[in-house]
Amino acid sequence: MTDSKKLLIEHFKQAVLVCRNGEKVLKGDDMKNVALMEEDGDNGISIVIDSNGLIEAVDYDAKIQEKYNNTKFDNKINAKGKCVVPGLIDGHTHPVWVGDRVHEFAMKLAGATYMDVHKAGGGINFTVEHTRSASEDELFLPFKERLERMLHCGTTLVECKSGYGLNVSTEIKMLKVIERAKRELPIDISSTFCGAHAVPKGKTAEEATEDVISVQLPQIVELMKNGELQVDNIDVFCEKGVFNTEQTKKILNAGVEAGLAINFHGDELHPTKSAELGAELNAAAISHLEEISDDGIVAMASSGTIAVLLPTTAYILRLKHPPARKMIESGVAIALGTDFNPNAFCLSMPLTMHLACVNLHMSMNESLVAATINAAASLNKSDTHGSLEVGKVGDLVIIDAPKWEHLVYQLAGHGHVIKHVVKKGNIVYTKP
């Protein structure tokens, strides 16, 4: 009697493992060299995914055929001439909301800045109004569609924030909608409480800080205790005119006391010494960092805090880009995120990787590392995600091209280039 496995993918041309020796994060020159296997003449490469959806073997066809000769597979894919990369990981999104902001895109194209729109009552506060009055079902449906579109772009693990409630009932509603997606969709989610995403109308920043710490967080902790919510990270928008460094520190510390990992917005529109603060607090990750200081770079390199860079933000808002090269050369680990939100409507990691290459001057290898193992590390998940190594989840993307780089090179071409997306050994998307 032979045991059966979930999936065999065979005969492919390149397997981009990303890591080979269980590395949890890649920095500096190590971001340049992704671990890769190439077919050897007629001997292609195969991957076996076991009945639990974990990677059991990655090797040349001949070796796999010999070892698994008598094994039954639920599914087989002949990937001759194709390439395989790990499932992509989106390190930063705001995907739970209703009420688009296409009108604001027009305003920004006409010259308004992000803060002009925000101060005029638009921006986050516009989305808050719509999201507060939506039911859980009304929030879930567009969220589900967005997650499905992310999956079709190759994303198999995504960080999802609350933050369009700014009061306890709507923040909890958003986090519950995220829990429902975890149950119903074949995508892994790292859930982030971002009750300090903006100062709600009618409150000062000081009052909002107090509300997040003394009202919102304790109720979320109760729901975590009784199993209704499973929240992973705490986030704050640390920015001039939003939450200052002192307020940010208080909220992040309260999050840590509640058992959450620090993963916050900082140094985006103005320098706020967010990088220095995150390093001091041993943050898992800081996002944006367009305005990071030289001291901030040094501090993040020594604390090991991951920089989640969001090239769509600077692109859409015509801001200066974060100094990715300087950060990489100084030893800061870089991850990437789409920053999907009503201001930056981008669900595609391949497009984000392309922008990172062109605008942040990253190489394609660096962009893949940033979209896999380093993004996993920013979510404390690089033990299980982010590379094609034995024992990790069987999440991968099969690329219909002779080199994996076509995923990045073909600008907005992911719909054509991605043939299959596999989540835990299940084929969850096949190009029509």
Ligand X SMILES: N=CN[C@@H](CCC(=O)O)C(=O)O
Q: Is 255 helix (H, G, I), strand (E, B) or coil?
A: helix
Q: Cβ–Cβ contacts within 10 Å for residue 167, how many?
A: 18
Instruction: Please state the φ and ψ torsions of residue 193, each to the nearest 5 degrees.
Output: -85, 120
Q: Which lies closer to ligand X via its Cβ, residue 19 or residue 314?
A: 314
* Residue 420 CA: distances (Å) to CA of 4, 191, 354, 385: 22, 26, 20, 18
Q: Which lies closer to ligand X via its Cβ, residue 90 or residue 268?
A: 268
Query: In angstroms, what is the minimal distance from the CB of 124 to ligand X?
Result: 5
Query: In angstroms, what is the minimal distance from the CB of 288 to ligand X?
Result: 6
Query: In angstroms, what is the minimal distance from the CB of 339 to ligand X?
Result: 5
- The residue number with the shortest CB distance to ligand X is 343
- Encoding tokens for residue 150? 């992310």
Which residues on neighbouring strands pair with residue 89, listed in sequence order? 157
Query: In angstroms, what is the minimal distance from the CB of 54 to ligand X?
Result: 33
Q: Which lies closer to ligand X via its Cβ, residue 12 or residue 315?
A: 315
Query: In angstroms, what is the minimal distance from the CB of 50 to ligand X?
Result: 38
Query: In angstroms, what is the minimal distance from the CB of 378 to ligand X?
Result: 14
Q: Which lies closer to ligand X via its Cβ, residue 23 or residue 239?
A: 239
Which residues contact ligand X (rule: CB under 6 A)? 94, 123-124, 127, 237, 265, 268, 313, 339, 341-344
Q: Which lies closer to ligand X via its Cβ, residue 68 or residue 126?
A: 126
Q: Which lies closer to ligand X via its Cβ, residue 94 or residue 354?
A: 94
Which residue reads 């990992």 in tokens?
Answer: 261
CB 401, CB 82: distance < 8 Å = yes
Concatenating the DSSP letter of every residue in 121-167 gives: T-THHHHHHHHHTS-HHHHHHHHHHHHHHHHHTTEEEEEEE--S--S
- Encoding tokens for residue 240? 């001039």
Nearest-angstrom CA–CA distance, 146 and 337: 15
Query: In angstroms, what is the minimal distance from the CB of 420 to ligand X?
Result: 31
- Which strands, in side-by-side order, build the sheet including 55-60? 55-60, 45-49, 4-12, 72-78
Helix (H) or strand (E) holding 281: none
Query: In angstroms, what is the minimal distance from the CB of 223 to ligand X?
Result: 24
Q: Which lies closer to ligand X via its Cβ, residue 123 or residue 425?
A: 123
Q: Which lies closer to ligand X via its Cβ, residue 96 or residue 220?
A: 96
Query: In angstroms, what is the minimal distance from the CB of 194 to ligand X?
Result: 8
- Encoding tokens for residue 270? 């103005």
- Which strands, in side-by-side order, build the sheet including 88-90? 88-90, 155-161, 188-196, 233-236, 261-266, 285-288, 306-309, 334-336
Q: Is 31 helix (H, G, I), strand (E, B) or coil?
A: helix
Q: Which lies closer to ligand X via its Cβ, residue 86 or residue 122?
A: 122
Q: Where are the beta strands (DSSP E) in 205-260?
A: 233-236
Q: Cβ–Cβ contacts within 10 Å for residue 155, how many?
A: 30
What secondary structure letter does DSSP report for 344?
B
Q: Could you give the angle at the alpha carbon of 184 between the alpha carbons of 178 and 189, nearest 5°?
A: 45
Q: Which lies closer to ligand X via its Cβ, residue 64 or residue 242?
A: 242
CB 28, CB 332: distance < 8 Å = no
Q: Which lies closer to ligand X via its Cβ, residue 6 or residue 173?
A: 173
Nearest-angstrom CA–CA distance, 356 and 340: 15
Query: In angstroms, what is the minimal distance from the CB of 88 to ligand X?
Result: 19
Nearest-angstrom CA–CA distance, 340 and 348: 9
Query: In angstroms, what is the minimal distance from the CB of 371 to ligand X?
Result: 17
Q: Cβ–Cβ contacts within 10 Å for residue 266, how many?
A: 28
